[in-house]
A and B are shown apart, each in its own frame.
Chain A
Amino acid sequence: MSTILDIKGLTKRFGGLTAVNNVSFSVREREILSLIGPNGAGKSTLFKLVSSFLRPTAGEVLFKGERISSLAPHIVARKGVVRTFQETTIFRNMTVRDNVIVAHHLRAKATLLGYFLGTTDARRDVAAFGSSADEILGFLGLDAISGEIARNLPHGHLRALGIAIGLATNPSVLLLDEPFAGMNHDETMKAVAMVRKLRERGLTVLLVEHDMPAVMKISDRVVVLNFGEKIAEGTPAEIQNDRKVIEAYLGVEDEAIGL
């Protein structure tokens, strides 16, 4: 498998605090890679660096060999690296379907003026976005609630909607921000199945997560951060037996890392 995302010596300092320190790893095409670590390990910062919502102090992120760090987030999204947010970040006052339709922005062939004037391209886009949105909603099992106003959804659905919005942009790499947080066991199992289906669609998935059993179940590989530094990288089985990882989680019972 070839490398799709290359993280090279990424460092981020906030004043005197080094949140991410010289982290390097690569993500292979069509793999599910999880980023884990105790609270404050720098996972979220790293996540924002990869999606270019933050500029690195040093180092770079290469997507298919091209530098994407320090580009504007919408340009990174256009190239095919798209992040999702935690649940509350949706277009609250739109219907579920409209949330997904508006997220088709990157697939638009007509210009905004074209839409205003209603050109053939624009009308074709509108029809295509509608059917693509329905397909995505069906794929994620949201079709029954496509007419609901997004702010009224329960939280499992919100998470799925966040992913639906991400999918609508037609990404090559989807970055998921804690997709299993706050879910019970059954919900988590469903979400795990959903993420696997994303990979079947040909996507590469990079996720940040706290839920160890889910991570161990779903990931091809795991990268572990502690105090901003990468302390381990490997398959779930390797990670579970890694001394440094166990020490990093010291004070946490062994079960917490899925042993």
Chain B
Amino acid sequence: MIRKLLGLLFFLAAVFILLPLFIEVTGRKDLYYVMTSVALLSIASAGVWLTFYIGRINIGQGAYALMGGYVSAILVMSYSWSFWLTLPIAGLFCAGVSILIGMPILRLRGVYFAMVTLVLTEVARLLALALPITNGAKGITSIPLPGSISIFGVTLVPDFVQVENPRIAFYYVAVVLMVVCYAGMYRLVNSRMGHLCMSLQQNEELASSIGVNIAWLRVVAYSISSFCGGVSGAVFVAATQSIYPSSFTVTDSVNFMLNCFLGGLGYVFGPMLGTLVLYLGWNLLFSTGQFQLLIYSAVMIILMLVLPNGLLSLGSWRRKG
């Protein structure tokens, strides 16, 4: 218990104080953008992780990230809504769509579900190209920065235009959302919902024989997953101030899944670590030029062979030994 609390405190200190401090000292301001991306991608990956937790391989999170991004961008641009209001709306919109899509496709298992979700991302991209409201291949650009939030005259979040460096502001937004997302996910997995998801993952027939409405539970888990994807996409769009049909592609969907694999499917915080390692790893390999993908894939394959339960299984292995 105390160890967990200390771990949590250290983690919070690291992301809120130590990392910004490190960046200020070394002057590597570009790292803010990198870490913002990691935080946002890890939110989308957390969603994918939850679908893994009910025993489904989800390679379609890119579709929801794209959808969330467009919902936020359109509401901000065409209806001049505040970004902060569009954030939950984007999440809820994705959750709603995922319920409609999920009801038929969640009956599928294994590779069949994976294949359908893989197609989803491509469908989302083509829809974004074809629909009039998304402005086709030109996308939506020069999206204004988020405004301020104030309650009773007290400014909680300053207007991003007036902030000295909006990147720092986005970093904090992303990290706060990530912390909230993972805290929620941790609580969910350790509450009854998590136990039921686990029962679903291990044996759906038995779960329904003990009275679990498996169809309903699957849809709920999938919609929470898509909510994460939508929120993550919406913040991404705000941070880059633009969105195109190719902002989230099949590659991103695959990466969300790989993040979960790499971190460990049995650990709530697996996707967070996985995202960090994969994102930084990919960028570090940039200097190897044409060999980047080759080395990256080789390392991934080796890691999956050596550590099938993910990076976090190293910790539990040490404790057991």
Contacts and interface: CB of A to CB of B under 8 A. Distances in A.
Interface of A: 51, 53, 72-74, 77-78, 82-85, 89-94, 98, 101-103, 105-106, 108, 110, 112, 115-116, 118, 122, 125-126, 165-166, 168-169
Contact of B191 (A73, A98, A116): A116
Contacts of A72: 208, 213, 215
A74 B206 contact: no
Contacts of B203: 89-92
B209 interface: yes
Interface in B118-161: none
Contacts of A78: 211
A168 B210 contact: yes
A98 B205 contact: no
Given A94-B198, A165-B206, A116 B211 contact: no
Given A91-B202, A94-B202, A116-B187, A82 B195 contact: no
Contacts of A82: 209-211
Given A116-B187, A116-B193, A102 B199 contact: yes
Interface of B: 187-188, 191-193, 195-196, 198-199, 202-203, 205-206, 208-215, 220
Contacts of B195: 98, 101-102
30 contacts: A53-B209, A73-B208, A74-B213, A77-B208, A77-B209, A77-B211, A82-B210, A84-B209, A85-B205, A89-B205, A90-B206, A91-B203, A91-B206, A92-B202, A94-B198, A94-B202, A101-B195, A102-B195, A102-B199, A102-B210, A105-B196, A105-B210, A106-B211, A112-B191, A112-B193, A115-B191, A115-B192, A116-B191, A165-B206, A169-B210
Contacts of A93: 198, 202
Contacts of A90: 203, 206
Contact of A105 (B187, B191, B205, B211): B211
A53 B211 contact: no
A91 B195 CA distance: 11
Given A89-B203, A92-B202, A94-B202, A83 B188 contact: no
Given A53-B205, A85-B205, A74 B198 contact: no
Contacts of B215: 72
Contacts of A101: 195
The 7 closest A-B pairs by CB, nearest first: A115-B192, A77-B211, A106-B211, A115-B191, A103-B210, A91-B202, A73-B208
Contact of B193 (A74, A115, A125): A115
How would you classify the secondary structure of chain B's contact residues: helix, strand, loop or mixed? helix
Q: Which of B192, B199, B209, B215 has the most CB of A within 10 A?
A: B209
A89 B210 CA distance: 12
Contacts of B188: 116
Contacts of A98: 195
Nearest to B210: A103
Nearest to B214: A74
B180 to A, nearest CB: 14
A121 to B, nearest CB: 11
A216 B263 CA distance: 55
A85 B206 contact: yes
A83 B187 CA distance: 31
B169 to A, nearest CB: 30
Given A103-B210, A118-B191, 13 more contacts: A74-B208, A74-B211, A83-B209, A91-B202, A92-B202, A102-B196, A105-B196, A105-B211, A106-B210, A106-B211, A112-B220, A115-B193, A166-B209
A252 B191 CA distance: 53
A85 B76 CA distance: 54
Contacts of A125: 192
B198 A169 contact: no
Contacts of A74: 208-209, 211-214
A91 B199 contact: yes
Contacts of B220: 112
A207 B213 CA distance: 25
Given A105-B196, A116-B191, A89 B206 contact: yes
A91 B214 CA distance: 15
Contacts of B192: 105, 108, 110, 112, 115, 122, 125-126
A51 B210 CA distance: 11
A51 to B, nearest CB: 7
A51 B19 CA distance: 57
A5 B195 CA distance: 32
A82 to B, nearest CB: 6
B193 A102 contact: no
A259 to B, nearest CB: 35
B182 to A, nearest CB: 14
B295 to A, nearest CB: 34
A56 B191 CA distance: 37
Given A74-B214, A90-B203, A116-B187, A85 B209 contact: yes
